[in-house]
Each structure stands twice: as C-alpha cells, then as structure tokens.
Structure 1
Amino acid sequence: KNLQTLNEENAALRKTLTEVKSCSNKNLTCPEIPKVNINGPCACDEGWDEHGGKCYYFSTNKSSWTESRDECRAKGGDLVKIDNWCEQIFLRTRLNGKMENFDDMFWIGLTDAVEEGRWLWLDGSPLNTSLSFWADHEPDNWTHENPDGEHCVRLGEEEGEEPLKTWYDKFCKAPNKSICEKWVKTD
C-alpha cells in the first residue's frame, strides 16, 4: 500500500513538473524560502507539512467555510492564502490521494462575501488577478444549490487545458475539507 501511494505521488509530481515546464514562457519564479531558526528536525507541529517557511494542515473534516476557518484558527493558523505559483504547485501536489472524487475539495481563505466579484484574502488583501488559478468558467456564482450564490473558494482537481487551474467558488455553508496555514515556529 505504501509503495502504491509513493508511486501515485511520484506520478503526480512528474505530471506537475511537466506542467510547470510547459508554463516556462510565463517567466515564473519562486520566492526565496525564508531561513528559519529551529530547534529540532521540523519547525511545524505534528501533522503539519512544512513548505516555504510555512506550515500546512490538510483537514479531512468536512465543514462549512466559516467552521473550517474556526478550526484553523483554533490550531493557531487560518485558511491558506496562496501567494505564488510555487505554493499553488505544492498544495495541488499534496492534495493527490486526499480527494476521493472530483467534488471532494478543500476550502482556502478567499471570498467575495463582502462585495460580489471582489475577491479578498482573509488578511484583507485583494486577489492578484495575474496570480489566480480559477478553473475554466470559474468563478460562476452558481445559484442552483443556494440562491445566495457562491462566495467562498475551494481548491480541487485541475479542469481545462491550463495546468494548476484548480479554484472553484462554492456556497460557503457547503461541507468541504480545508487547508490551514501558519508560519513555521521560530525560536
């Protein structure tokens, strides 16, 4: 079973690497990873994954966007804010094997609940449209499931021809998994 999981992760990483190489004409660069001072082998709490100076927790509890945010805050973080291509690639790669089907997605910290069409991260910063990863035909503010529309964002599987296009808007009370984020511990 472990070998099968490793083979699946390896295949996913190879696919992602191929996709990133195909995006090379976009002049993508990753930020320098901050240096951290740690005492011990890992700067993140148990159950959290470290990447780029941050710690990530992939919650498999399905709850609303607000409840997911509360869970992240109780763990000392918040729903993830995706700051660059490298972070998107890392998150997308880590989701391989954590989703059971196409609709099995993870909340992130992006919403347009304050003003329709004005997407803001939880820290109040606006979405950089040159650094967004909307799937084809998203966001669509679909009102068939909920007449109030879709004001929260989740990360899922790629759809369409462009790689890493994995963001989908959804009504905020829908139960989904979530991704929490916090800075690594610096002692």
Structure 2
Amino acid sequence: MSPVREIKQRLFLSAKFLISLNLLFLLFVIILGILFSSEKKAHQVTSQSLRDLNISYVKVQGEKTSLEKDLNVSRGEAKALTTKYNSLSQEKTSLQAELKSVWSSWRVEITKTERLTREKNSKVEELDRKRTELIKRDETITQLRQSNTKISQDLEETNKNLNEQKRNNTLWSHLKESIEKEMKEYKDKQPSQIRDQEKTFLDSLLQVLETGCDFTWELAGGKCFFFSSEKHTWEQSRDDCQAKKGELAFTPTETEWEILKKAIPGNSKDFYWIGLTDSDTEGSWRWVDNKTITINHWLNNDPDNWTNNDTKPEGENCAKMNAVEGGWMDAFCDEQIPYICQTMAAV
C-alpha cells in the first residue's frame, strides 16, 4: 500500500472515529441532560417531601405537646381517681362490714318474725277452732232453747189438756151414772116397749162414755182412731181429721206403730193416708207435729220419690200405710185413698 493511500485511510479512520466520538459525546450529553432533568425533578420532589415532612413534623410536634398536656391531665385525673378508688374501697369495706352486721340482725329478726308468724297461725287456728266450737255451742244452745220452748209449750198444752180431761172425766162419770140409772128405770117401767133404735143409741152412748172415743172411732192404746171409708187426697184427709178435732195418724214410737198396725182393718193391699210427709224439704220426712221420724217401716225401696216419667216433677211427698204389715210407701199427695185420724181418748 502506498503511503498516501495509507494516510488517507488513516484520516478516514480518524474522521470516522471523531464522528463516533462526537456521537458518543452527544449521547453522553443527552444522558446527562436526562439525568439532570431526573435529578431536578427528584430534587423538587424531595424538597416538596421535605417541606411536607417539616409541616408534618411541626404538626406532630404540636400534637405531641397536646398529648403530653392531655397525658399530664390524665395522670392527674388517674391520681385523683386512684385516691377516690382507695376512698371508695375503704367505704366499701366499711359498708360490707355494716351490711354483714345488718344481715345478721336481719336474720335474727327474720327468725323472730317466723316464730311469731307460727305462733300467730297457731293462735288463729285455735281461735277459729274455738269460734267454731262457740258457733256450734250457740247453735246447740239455740236448739236447746227452742226445744225448751217447745217442751214448755207442749207441757203447758198437756197440763191444759189434763185439766180439761179431768173436768171431762168428772162430767162423763156423772153422765154415765145418770144414763145407766135412767136406762135401768126405763127398762123396769117399760121393758117390752124399748125400741131397737133407742137401744142401739143408748148402747153406743154407753160405749162412748166407757172408751172416751166419739161415735165411729175405735179405742187402741189410749188413743181414738178413725178409719175412713171415703177416699180423699192427703191434704183433704188432714183437713177432715182436723175438722173432727183430730189429726192424721202418726206413730213416732215403735209401740204406737204396733198399736196402730193391729187396729187397721183390711189386708196388706189396703192403704191409708198417715200424717207423714216431706213436702217442706225433699228427703226430710216429718210427722204432722213437725218431728222427724225415728223409726223405719218403709216397704221395698221406698221412699223413691217416683215422678211417673217426669209427668209429676214434684215427686211422691206423702206417706201411706198398709194393713196387716203396717208398712209405709211414699205416694203422690193428690192420690185419693182412705185415711186414718187419731186423737186422745177422753177417759
């Protein structure tokens, strides 16, 4: 290779090198510019962040100061609360001791109250028992007074009847003697002319004087009984007996029942009204003198208060007695059958 060509070639290579170098320098400058711009922006951002941090620091510093003040206040309050808590704890301990004392006293009072309550209940029960006894005693006294009044009235009535009977006995005695004397004289004077009717009348009159029972009445056990042939209701029968100065027959004792049973005419199918009824109180059978029955001669399942399939809702409230057996049956009071009246004999 010739020197000139070599020089040219070297120069060409130098120019190419310079161009490359310039290009590298330009690239470097560009990179520096970019770096500078980035750094500037970063510096601006950092400056802004620093300013923000300063502002935040100042703000935090103020908040710290405020919090320190609040902390000091809270510490003061906490100290005050601690002091108050200690005081309250002491008061609590004192109150607990006082409550324990009050509770003990209260338990003592409760025990005393329970004992007093038991004693009160016992006294109340005893008082109720005594009150019940007093009520029963008052009822008994009232019943005794009523019985005494009734007995006094009955005694007075009996004395009155006895006095009347004594007077009647004297009268009957004189009358009997007079009639017997008159009959004897009448028979002596006119023995063949005495008419049968007069004889029957005089014989009946003598029977009345001897027995003390009215005509058509029969004497049995010191009482006169009338056995009707007519049939009436129970009420009508009682009215008729009272009109005859008597009462429907009643037998409060076994002896009187036995006397009446033997005196009743007829057979066991013949029934007569007697003075026994439960019209006032159902099931409470009483004699017409208002005394309760103390003997029992009911037949079969009587009294059953049969209502005849509810056609007679009042039931069977009057008693009838049969002949021979002397048994009782309850019956409808409007049934019409014969009846028995009774009264005391005049002698």
Q: Same fold (TM over 0.5)?
A: yes
Q: Is the Cα–Cα contact under 8 Å of residues 136 and 165 in structure 1 kept in the other structure? A: no
State the distance in 2 between where 1:165 and 1:68 align: 19
Q: Is the Cα–Cα contact under 8 Å of residues 135 and 165 in structure 1 kept in the other structure? A: no
* Larger-gyration structure (1/2): 2
Match of 1:51 in 2: 220
Structure 2 gaps, min length 5: 1-165, 174-208
Match of 1:171 in 2: 332
State the distance in 1 between where 2:326 and 2:271 align: 13
- Residue type of the alignment partner of 1:51: A
Once the two structures are superposed, the pairs formed by residues 151-166 of structure 1 within 5 Å of their partners are 151-157=317-323, 164=325, 166=327
- Provide TM-score, normalisation by structure 2: 0.38
Match of 1:136 in 2: 300
Once the two structures are superposed, the pairs formed by residues 5-16 of structure 1 within 5 Å of their partners are none
Structure 1 gaps, min length 5: 1-35, 159-163
Once the two structures are superposed, the pairs formed by residues 100-139 of structure 1 within 5 Å of their partners are 102=269, 104-128=270-294, 131-139=295-303
Q: Is the Cα–Cα contact under 8 Å of residues 68 and 107 in structure 1 kept in the other structure? A: yes
248, 260, 269: which is aligned to 1:79?
A: 248
Q: Is the Cα–Cα contact under 8 Å of residues 141 and 169 in structure 1 kept in the other structure? A: yes
Bigger strand share = 1
Deviations 1:38-58 (A, max 9, x none): 633121111111122211100
Q: How many residues align?
A: 143
- Residue type of the alignment partner of 1:134: W
Q: Report the CA distance shift for 1:117/1:132 in structure 2 as closer, same or farther (over 3 A).
A: same
SS at match of 1:72: helix
Q: Is the Cα–Cα contact under 8 Å of residues 154 and 168 in structure 1 kept in the other structure? A: yes
Give 1:165 shift.
Answer: 5.7
State the distance in 2 between where 1:165 and 1:95 align: 8
RMSD of aligned alpha carbons: 2.3
Give 1:93 shift.
Answer: 2.4
Give 1:115 shift.
Answer: 0.4
State the distance in 2 between where 1:51 and 1:94 align: 7
